[in-house]
Amino acid sequence: MSMHSDPVDKYADRRFDARFSDGTSAGSETVGVALSPRGIEISRDRDPQPLVWPYGAIVTAEPLSDHSIDALVTYRYQQGASLFVPGGAFARALAEVAPHLTARAERWRNTRPWLWVAGAVVLVSGLIALSDLSPARTLAGLMPDAARQTLGAQVIGSMTRGKTVCEASEGRAALDRLAARLSAAAGNAAAFKLTVVEWSLVNAFAAPGEQIVVTSGLIAQAQSPEELAGVIAHEMGHGIERHPETGIVRAVGLTAAAELMLGGGSGTLTNLGLALAQLSYTRAAEREADDHALAILRATSISAKGLADFFVRMGKGEKDDGGVSVDLLRSHPQTAERLQHVLSAPTYPTKAAMSAPEWAALRAICEADAKAR
């Protein structure tokens, strides 16, 4: 036997006991089975001619493997009929004769199209990222103003929840004057609205609908009104470029995609609100915002040195000494690069961002509130 190279010849003489159901009822009969070159031959007592099921048109209930303990075979052109052959010997022989029925072949058949799809998804996302196309940005640009306003109110609401909003009248007036001045120079259709929250974090955020949140920590840390003006101008830059709206559209899109890929079981759709407040921007987006900030500051004759000082402070991290630490900037190349960009802008005659009394009132915007109550 072993001298034959064709597996069909190897099993030509083997007979296997099996049970056959013709699919018209749930009864079954005992039959003899052989693996002939034409296909599986099923010999029934009452039929002189065996049934032949060609290998190309048969399906096994379970993919065949070395560990198969039996095989249940059906035939594409005889609906409902099934052949059950107990014992592993037949299954192993059939796997040799019809390799497309093996577990390995089947899994590869099922996986291959999706590997192509996954590859295409990675490729397309890569190309979109590389060519600076942003579908999220296009969609964000199409968002109506009313929707941007409510989204902005949503984000501001979730950011200020449980925190005090600082509204001391003199400080507020000083801030409004600065905001109006910057806003007018920003060239945006709508004016920017600023909210100050009592929060030790040193930061400012742009929200959809021309909204900006400034923390009391940032005001306390700022060494000059120019520094604060620089940061606010930067956030206005994000707002002009619709970065917050883009971030939200992207978050929604990614969540929907994740939900689709994970079969809906991840429950992320319901937690979408959580994702909205968590926005961070790409390097290119920060650069765009910086460019806007420089233009705004120039138009308002406020020195860009304030913005540069803020980058230095960011680069220093939490270090207390006043000097510029070049080493620390080296570990934050993005900040160093942005600092360089701001410093390399041409200089122009400058005016103070606000008067000393205004600056003092603004710095007390949260304290005065507490006293008033």
Told to check if 334 binds another protein by CB under 8 A, we report yes
Pattern of binders to another protein over 82-101, x per CB under 8 A? x-x-x---------------
The answer for 372, left when phi > 0, alpha when psi is -120 to 50, beta otherwise, is alpha
Told to check if 271 binds another protein by CB under 8 A, we report no
- Exactly one of 1, 260, 356, 372 binds another protein (CB under 8 A); that residue is 260
Told to check if 355 binds another protein by CB under 8 A, we report no
**How far is the C-alpha of 285 from the C-alpha of 239, rounded, in Å?**
11
Other beta carbons within 10 Å of 276: 18
Told to check if 72 binds another protein by CB under 8 A, we report yes
CB of 235 closer than 8 Å to CB of 188? no
- For residue 151, the minimal CB distance to another protein (Å) is 7
- For residue 207, the minimal CB distance to another protein (Å) is 13
- Exactly one of 5, 48, 67, 130 binds another protein (CB under 8 A); that residue is 67
Told to check if 328 binds another protein by CB under 8 A, we report no
Alpha-carbon distances of 335 from 25, 47, 259, 290, rounded to whole Å? 77, 86, 35, 11
**How far is the C-alpha of 367 from the C-alpha of 202, rounded, in Å?**
17
Told to check if 217 binds another protein by CB under 8 A, we report no
CB of 171 closer than 8 Å to CB of 361? yes
b/e sequence 54-69, b meaning 16+ C-beta within 10 Å: ebeebebeebbeeebe
Alpha-carbon distances of 342 from 176, 205, 294, rounded to whole Å? 25, 20, 7
Q: Given the complex with another protein, which of 5 and 25 has the nearer CB atom?
A: 25
Of 9, 60, 55, 51, give the one whose Cα is nearest residue 31: 51
The residue count for binding another protein (CB under 8 A) is: 63
- Exactly one of 89, 105, 139, 272 binds another protein (CB under 8 A); that residue is 272
Q: Would strands 193-197 and 211-215 be described as parallel, antiparallel, or unpaired?
A: parallel
- For residue 266, the minimal CB distance to another protein (Å) is 6
Told to check if 351 binds another protein by CB under 8 A, we report no
Pattern of binders to another protein over 219-258, x per CB under 8 A? ---------------------------------x-xxx-x
Pattern of binders to another protein over 43-62, x per CB under 8 A? --xx--------------xx
Using CB under 8 A, which of the segments 6-14, 153-161, 284-292, 358-366 binds another protein? 153-161
Q: What is the DSSP letter of 24?
A: S
Told to check if 325 binds another protein by CB under 8 A, we report no
CB of 136 closer than 8 Å to CB of 253? yes
Told to check if 264 binds another protein by CB under 8 A, we report yes
Q: Given the complex with another protein, which of 86 and 217 has the nearer CB atom?
A: 86
- With H, G, I as helix, E, B as strand and everything else as coil, classify residue 232: helix
Q: Given the complex with another protein, which of 205 and 359 has the nearer CB atom?
A: 205
Other beta carbons within 10 Å of 314: 18
Told to check if 130 binds another protein by CB under 8 A, we report no
- For residue 44, the minimal CB distance to another protein (Å) is 9
Q: Which residues pair with 211 in a beta bridge?
A: 193, 207
- Exactly one of 4, 107, 163, 319 binds another protein (CB under 8 A); that residue is 107
- The tokens for 332 are 């934050």
Q: Which amino acid is at 256?
A: A
- With H, G, I as helix, E, B as strand and everything else as coil, classify residue 280: coil
**Span 16-35, contacts to another protein by CB under 8 A:** 19, 21-30
- Exactly one of 96, 198, 259, 288 binds another protein (CB under 8 A); that residue is 259
**How far is the C-alpha of 189 from the C-alpha of 249, rounded, in Å?**
21
Q: DSSP letter string over 309-344?
A: HHHHHHHHTT--S-S--HHHHHT-HHHHHHHHHHHT
The contact set with another protein (CB under 8 A) reads 19, 21-30, 45-46, 61-63, 65, 67-70, 72, 74, 80-82, 84, 86, 106-107, 110-111, 114-115, 117-118, 121, 146-147, 150-151, 153-154, 157, 252, 254-256, 258-266, 269, 272, 331-334
